[in-house]
Amino acid sequence: MRESAVARMPVWTLRHRPLAGDVLLAALLVVGVHHSEPAGPPEHRWWTTALVLGTVLLRRRRPEAVLAVATVITAIGVAARWPAPSGLFLLLSVLTYSAALHSRHRRPWLHACLAWGATALAGFAAGPAQWWSPEQFSLFACVFGGAGIGDSVRMRHAYVAEVTERARQAEETREQEARRRVLDERLRIARELHDVVAHHIAVISVHAGAAGHVLRDRPDQVWPVLGHIRGAADAVLDEVKSVIGVLRDPDEVPSTQPTPGLDHLPALLAGLEAAGFSVRREESGAPRRLPSVVDLAAYRIAQEALTNAHKHGDGSAELTITRTPEGITVEVVNRIGPGRAGGPGSGFGLIGMGERASAAGGSLTSGRLPGGRFRVRAELPAPESATSWDDSADQLPTPTPIPTGGHP
């Protein structure tokens, strides 16, 4: 709140705010010095006013120099028993504070000892009575009090700056880790998408092979074309396999399992229930075959959302799958477990789910609901026309090998 209010202030106000504060402080010190010796001659008022204004306005730029000047003048005034030196003790307090806060060298107690020692020796030179006077004790309190407060403020500023820098570095590290997780997730998605593409290339190969059984009435025109199609499809399939081999981790064992989809949900839910996690599953809409990319994304999002619910929830969740002619919606709702309200996870799981939904052409939303619940909702497009081609490919007969030349 305070930082936002400062950020809204005009630039000229921020630039001149320290100067305005110094002018106000100088005016208050002038009043205090004059009030301490109201019966002093006018010439003393002029030089004390000039001393206060000059030292206060320069205390940020030359803190040690103005402290030395004020100390010398005050010591001379004490030794000569001028009317106003006792009022200058407040000025020395401000200047020792400024030296402790703004000096490049952190030696506040040395500044205080020099200022107090010079003035105390001047008082002792003026007479023993001056040494034991209450003004000397007031001087001691003002000088060392100002130095102590200035050093405390300086240490506080240094601590805040260090904490701010650590927070900035931690935020940068978190952003770098988030970007790395996103890249890793995209790479994993790319590997799986290449598996899906390989499946579609295989479907093209099946179509090309089955065409030989359909168009045998014109073999002189069909067979050379089909041979080239089959050869090109097989070449693309080999290229895709080589790309997958490059993308996969060298230590990763190649999977022989088919790409998972929503048909794997029963096994997933059974594993969660065996671990003591209850999932209430609701489905609406007519079941139908989904595009492989959408089917994979829907399953992975449901898997990740249920895993997060298991980690951060109270032991149960609701899984809702809604199928429409335009697509499919996957929604997971769970109650936030005790002690989790103020300690959310890293958010990397949500990032991965968002990347998967985006790769499938959909969107993902997540957030808290009333009653201490959390919801993850993914909407994935899957028009019915997009699956007709895959369905027709499954109904084609298995082709026989086709030569690349003329009619067999």
pLDDT digits 0-9 by tens, 134-168: 666 777 777 888 788 888 888 888 888 889 888 88
Q: Helix or strand or coil: residue 14?
A: helix
Q: How many distinct helices (H) and strands (E) make up the chain?
A: 13, 5
259: amino acid identity, one letter: T
Structure tokens at 91: 């000025």
**What's the average model confidence in pLDDT over 301-315?**
88
Identify whether the C-beta of residue 196 lies closer than 8 Å to the C-beta of residue 237. no
pLDDT range class, residue 292, cuts 50, 70, 90: confident
**Is residue 311's pLDDT more than 90?**
no
Quick: pLDDT tens for 373-394: 999 999 999 887 655 545 544 4
Segment 210-217 shows an average pLDDT of: 63
Least confident range of 1-15, 215-229, 334-348: 1-15
pLDDT of 14: 44
Mean pLDDT of 217-229: 64
Q: 110-133: per-residue pLDDT in tens?
A: 877 887 777 777 777 766 655 556
Residues 6+ apart with CB under 8 A from 187: 247
Residue 201: closest CA among 246, 247, 242, 236: 236
d(CA 69, CA 75): 10
- Residues in Cβ contact with 262 at an 8 Å cutoff, skipping those fewer than 6 apart: 290, 295, 298, 299, 302, 321
Do the beta carbons of residue 205 and residue 230 sit within 8 Å? yes
pLDDT tens readout for residues 7-24: 454 544 445 566 666 666
Q: What is the pLDDT of residues 247-289, one digit of tens each?
A: 555 555 555 556 688 999 999 898 888 878 899 999 998 888 8
Burial class (CB in 10 A: 0-12, 13-18, 19+), 244: middle
Note the pTM of the prediction, 2 decimals.
0.45
